[in-house]
């Protein structure tokens, strides 16, 4: 059974976007995953198809209405146990571990927020998991949803030519990825590290581990403070 993604959005024309190209696009064409979009506005009941209203208590902007969004979610998830995610800057940071958990299932429902946000009642009532892709603000949840789907699709079985190619990437083992090199052996006076052309696989593995640890200490020391961090 292929991985099924359903995206709830006010801008369905933004999908599949870049996911129609490269590995993700080929996998979509082969049926290894599927993508459906639901126009949230289709679930409004008034003649103006209103999806937002002013925030209770005052303030700038508009808020997505709970009744309209709930109808869209219920339509997408009828008799369906796929996780329901809301792309939100206040959500838990997306991690490779969470990506792998989602990819191991049979699909996902993604809600793209807009305006000032989503009425908290629908978040609570429909058990939406708020997910953030970084500490910055986007114009809406659509770019974040595309990023999330990109991360998921590429690790679905059979999408990458070599399923092992994703195992040594940044975050997979709790460290950033080690540096890479390729021919020519010398470029602008810079040489490929000798160990990588030595043929000594044990020495190469140690070098890769040491370099991954060095880069992680320099750039993301927070990764080494996690309870499940690799031995330093």
For residue range 139-154, list pLDDT tens digits in order: 999 999 999 999 999 9
Nearest-Å Rg of the Cα atoms of the chain is 22
| CATH classification number, 3-153, choose in 3.40.50.20, 3.40.50.720, 3.40.1280.10, 3.50.30.40 | 3.40.1280.10
Tokens of 141: 């949840």
pLDDT digits (tens, 9 = 90+) for 183-192: 999 999 999 9
- Predicted confidence band at 232 (pLDDT cuts at 50, 70, 90)? low
Residue with structure tokens 């975050």?
Answer: 171
Tokens of 184: 């020519």
- Predicted confidence band at 138 (pLDDT cuts at 50, 70, 90)? very high
Higher pLDDT, 180 or 167: 180
**Above pLDDT 70, what percent of the chain?**
96
Q: Smallest Cα–Cα separation from 181: which of 189, 190, 172, 173?
A: 190
CB 51 within 8 A of CB 65: yes
* 68 φ, ψ (degrees, to nearest 5): -65, -50
CB 119 within 8 A of CB 55: no
pLDDT of 165 higher than 60: no
Strand bridging mode 3-9 / 33-39: parallel
Q: How many DSSP H helices and E strands does the chain contain?
A: 6, 9
CA dihedral 167, 105, 36, 122 (to 10 degrees): -120
Contacts of 17 (CB under 8 A, 6+ apart): 146
The beta-strand segments (E) located in the chain are 3-9, 33-39, 52-53, 63-64, 84-93, 107-112, 129-132, 186-187, 190-191
Contacts of 89 (CB under 8 A, 6+ apart): 132, 135, 136, 137, 138
Other C-beta atoms lying within 10 Å of the C-beta of residue 1:
5
Top-level class of domain 168-225: mainly alpha
The mean of the pLDDT values for the chain is 94
Domain segments of the chain as ranges: 3-153, 168-225
pLDDT digits (tens, 9 = 90+) for 87-131: 999 999 999 999 999 999 999 999 999 999 999 999 999 999 999
Q: Smallest Cα–Cα separation from 157: which of 32, 20, 22, 4?
A: 32
pLDDT digits (tens, 9 = 90+) for 43-90: 999 999 999 999 999 999 999 999 999 999 999 998 889 999 999 999
């Amino acid at each position: 059974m292929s991985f099924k993604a359903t995206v709830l959005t006010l801008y369905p024309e933004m999908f599949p976007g870049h996911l129609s190209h490269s590995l993700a696009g080929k996998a979509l064409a082969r049926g290894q995953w599927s993508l459906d979009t639901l126009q949230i506005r289709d679930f409004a009941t008034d003649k103006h198809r209103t999806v937002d209203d002013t925030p209770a208590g005052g303030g700038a902007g508009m808020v997505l209405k709970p009744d309209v969004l709930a109808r869209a979610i219920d339509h997408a998830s009828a008799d369906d146990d796929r996780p329901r995610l809301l792309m939100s800057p206040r959500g838990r940071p997306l991690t490779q571990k969470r990506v792998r958990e989602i990819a191991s299932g049979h699909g996902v429902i993604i809600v793209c927020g807009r305006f000032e946000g989503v009425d908290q009642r629908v978040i609570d009532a429909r058990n939406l998991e708020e997910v953030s892709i970084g500490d910055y603000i986007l114009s809406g949840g659509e770019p974040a949803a595309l990023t999330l789907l990109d991360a998921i699709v590429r690790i679905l079985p059979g999408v990458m030519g070599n399923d092992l190619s994703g195992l040594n990437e940044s975050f997979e083992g709790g460290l950033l990825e080690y540096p890479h090199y390729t021919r020519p052996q010398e470029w602008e006076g810079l040489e490929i590290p000798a160990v990588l052309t030595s043929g000594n696989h044990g020495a190469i593995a140690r070098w890769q581990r040491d370099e991954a640890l060095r880069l992680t200490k320099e750039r993301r020391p927070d990764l080494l403070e996690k309870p499940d961090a690799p031995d330093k």
